[in-house]
Chains A and B, each alone.
Chain A
Amino acid sequence: MSDLGFSFSLSQLWQVAGGQIILLIAGLVLIFVDLWLSTDKKPDHVATMGWLTALSFLVALWHMIGTEWTLNEIVLVDVFSADKFAIFVSAIVLMAGIFASLMSIGYLRNNKLVRSEYFILLLFAVYGTIAMVQSVDLLMMFIALEVMSLSVYVLAAFLKDDRRSQEGALKYFLLGSFGSAFFLFGVGLMYGLTGTVNITKIAQVLSTGPLLENPGVLVAMAMLMSGLFFKMALVPFHMWTPDVYEGSPAIITGFMATAVKAGAFGIFIKLLSVTFTPILAHSGQPEFQSTVNLAALAVYWKPLLWWLALITMFVGNLVAVSQKNVKRMLAYSSIAHAGYMVLGILAANDEGRMGVLFYLFAYTLMNMGAFGVLYLFDGQEGKAQTLDDYKGLGFKYPALSFMMALFLVSMAGLPPTAGFIGKFYLFAAAIKEGYLLLAALGILTCVIGAYYYLRVIWMLYMVEPSRDVVAGRVGVPSMIALIAAALGIMYLGILPEGLSQVANVAQQGLAMVF
C-alpha cells in the first residue's frame, strides 16, 4: 500500500485477477447491452440478459480453473493473490451465481418483473465477493465487501410493491452497514498498530514486535471478527437474517445464503489462518519460526468460536422447528448450517478447513436447489408459502417435489447425499481436535434439524391437499439448474473423494499466502 507505483506486470494481473476483470468488463458491457435490448422492445430481453450473465460467470469460472488454479506458486499483485483457497471459494461463488442467474430468468418471468438491472446487480455482487476472497489487503477486503453488500441490498429490495421485501432490505442495510463499520474500525486500528493493512505483513509485524502485549491488537481482532460474524449470520449477530431471507426474492435469498456466506467464511478463514494464527507457524521452516508466538491469539478466539458454534447450531435449529413459513424456516436452517461450518473453523486443522470448503460447495448445491423449487411452488397464482400449502403437492408435482425432498434430505444430513458427507467431515475434524462435547451437542442439533426438514417431506407426500396450489411454469433454464443441483448432490454423496481432494489442495493453498 505504501508505495503507489505498481510492482507487477499486466500479464501477472491477468493471471491473478483475470476472473474479476472478466466479470467487471461483462458487467459494464451488459449495462449497454441491456439498454440496447430494452429499447428494441424485445419481449424476452430479460431472459437474454440472464443467459448472458450466466455465460459471463461461466467464462470467469473457466479462466479461474484454467489459469489461476494452475499457477504453481502464488502470485501476488499488491492486493490480490491467486491462492488456491481463494480460487476454490470463488468457484463456489461463481457456481451460485450461475444457478441464481439461470433460475432468475424463470423467477422474473413468473413474477412479471421486466427489469433486467437485476442481472447486472447480480454480476457485481459476484464480482465483489470474488474480489473479497482474493484480496490480501484489509482495505481492499472492506471495499470489496461493500461492493458485494451494496449490490445485494438493492437486490433484496427488488420487489418494489412488496412491503416485506422493502422492510427486509432496510433491516439488512442497517445491520449490514453497522457490521461493516465494525470491520472498518478493526482495519483502522490494525493499520495504526502495525503500519500496514496487508494481512501477511501484519502477521510479521505482530510476531516480531512487543505488540502482542498490546490490548489494541485484541480489540482490532475482535472488531474485524465481529464485522464478519454479521455477514456469516452467526447467533447473536443473526437478527437480520430471517427477516431479510423471508422478504427478499426467493432466488436472491438462496444467493445470499450461499455466495455471500461463502465469501464471508472465506475471508474469515483466511484472516484466521494467515494473520491471527498462521498455519505455517509450526511447519518448521525458519522464516516462519517467529510467527509461532502468534498462536497465543488462539487462546482468545477459540473459546469465542466454541460458544458461537454451540448457540448458532441450537438457536438456528430450535427456532426453525416453530416456523410455519417455509422460506423463513430455510432462513433459520441456514443459520444452523453456518454453525456447523464454524465447527470446522474451530478445529483449525487441515480436515476442518477441507470440511468447510466441501460443505460450502455442497450447501450451495442443496440450498440453491431448494430455493429453486421454492420459487416455483410460490408461483404467481395460489402462492404456496406456508407448510400447510405444501400438503399433497407430491402427487400434483412429482418431479419438483422429488427434488425438494432430495435437497431437504441433503440439508438434514442423511446419506447418500452430499450433506451427509459434509457434516461427517466437519464433525470428524472437530472430534480429532478434542471438541467431543461440542460435536456431540452438534449431532444432537442435527437430529432436531432432521425433524423439520422431514416434516416438509411428510407434508408433500403423506397429507391430503388442503387447497389448490398452482406452481409456476418451469422454464428450460430453471430445469437445467435444478437437475444440475440434484445430480451434483447425488454424485457428491456417493463419490465425494474427488471434491474432497480438490478441497484439500485448496486449503493447503492458504499456507502459500506469505
Chain B
Amino acid sequence: MASLTHYIVLSSILFGLGTIGFLTRRNALILFMSIELMLNAVNLMLVAFSNFMADMAGQVMVLFIFAVAAAEVAVGLAILIGLFRHVREVDITKFNVLKW
C-alpha cells in the first residue's frame, strides 16, 4: 500500500524533472512538455492529498488546472507557430534577435 509520502515524493520528482527539462533542453516543444509535466506533477499531488484527507476540493482543483493547462498550450503553440513563420526553427538558442 502506497502511503501519502510516496505520492509526494513521486510528484516532487516529476516536478523536478520538469524543471530540469525546462532549464536544460533547447527545443521549444520539449520546453512546453516540461511545463505540462510540472503542472501534472501538481495535479498528482492534489489528487493524492485530496484522497488522503477525504476532501473533494483537491480533485475539483485538478479539473480547473486541466482547463488552464489546455488554454496555456493553445496560446503557447500559437505563439510558437507565429515565431516559426519567421525563423523556421524551434531551437530556442536561435531565437536571439533580442539581446543586450
Q: Which residues of A contact B (CB under 8 A)?
A: 1-2, 4, 139, 142-143, 146, 150, 153-154, 157, 160, 163-164, 166-171, 173-174, 177-178, 181, 184-185, 187-189, 191-192, 195-197, 242-243, 246-247, 319, 322-323, 328
B17 CB–A CB distance under 8 Å: no
Closest Cβ of chain A: how far from B19's Cβ, in Å?
A: 8
**What's the minimum C-beta distance from B21 to chain A, rounded to whole angstroms?**
11
Q: Are A163 and B61 in contact (CB under 8 A)?
A: no
The 8 Å CB contact of A139, one of B28, B64, B71, is B64
Complex Cα distance, B65 from A243, in Å, reads 28
**Chain A interface helix/strand/loop/mixed:** helix
Question: Are B82 and A2 in contact (CB-based, < 8 A)?
Answer: no
A197 to B62, CA, bound (A): 13
Cβ of B38 and Cβ of A181 under 8 Å apart? yes
Across the interface, do A166 and B86 meet the contact criterion of CB distance under 8 Å?
Answer: yes
- Which B residues have a C-beta under 8 Å from some C-beta of A? 8, 11, 15, 18, 22, 28, 31, 35, 38-39, 41-42, 45-46, 48-49, 53, 55-58, 60-61, 64-65, 68, 71-72, 75-76, 78-80, 82-83, 85-87, 92, 95, 97-100
Q: How far is the CB of A203 from chain B (nearest CB, A)?
A: 18
User: From residue B30, how far is it (CB to closest CB) to chain A in Å?
Assistant: 11
Contact A157 B38 (CB under 8 A): no
Contact, CB under 8 Å: A173 / B79 = yes
| Complex Cα–Cα for A502 and B48 (A) | 45
With a cutoff of 8 Å between Cβ atoms, the chain B residues found around residue A1 in the complex are 57, 60-61
Chain B residues whose C-beta falls within 8 Å of the C-beta of A185 in the assembled complex = 15, 38, 41-42, 45
Q: Determine the distance from Cα of A457 to Cα of B45 in the docked complex, in whole angstroms.
A: 54
- State how many angstroms separate the Cβ of B12 from the closest Cβ of chain A: 9
Least CB distance from A499 to B in Å reads 36
Q: By the criterion CB–CB under 8 Å, are B98 and A173 in contact?
A: no
Answer whether A167 and B95 are a contact pair too, CB < 8 Å, given A181-B18, A181-B35.
yes
Can you pick out 26 interface pairs between chain A and chain B where the beta carbons lie within 8 Å of each other?
Answer: A1-B57, A2-B57, A4-B60, A139-B61, A143-B64, A146-B68, A153-B76, A157-B79, A157-B82, A164-B98, A166-B79, A166-B82, A167-B83, A167-B98, A184-B39, A184-B65, A185-B42, A185-B45, A188-B42, A191-B49, A192-B8, A195-B55, A196-B57, A242-B98, A242-B100, A322-B100
CA distance A189 to B58 in the complex (A): 11
Contacts A181-B42, A185-B45, A328-B100 supplied; 18 other A-B pairs, CB < 8 Å? A1-B57, A139-B61, A146-B68, A150-B72, A154-B78, A160-B82, A166-B83, A169-B82, A170-B28, A170-B95, A173-B75, A174-B35, A177-B72, A188-B45, A191-B46, A192-B48, A192-B49, A243-B99
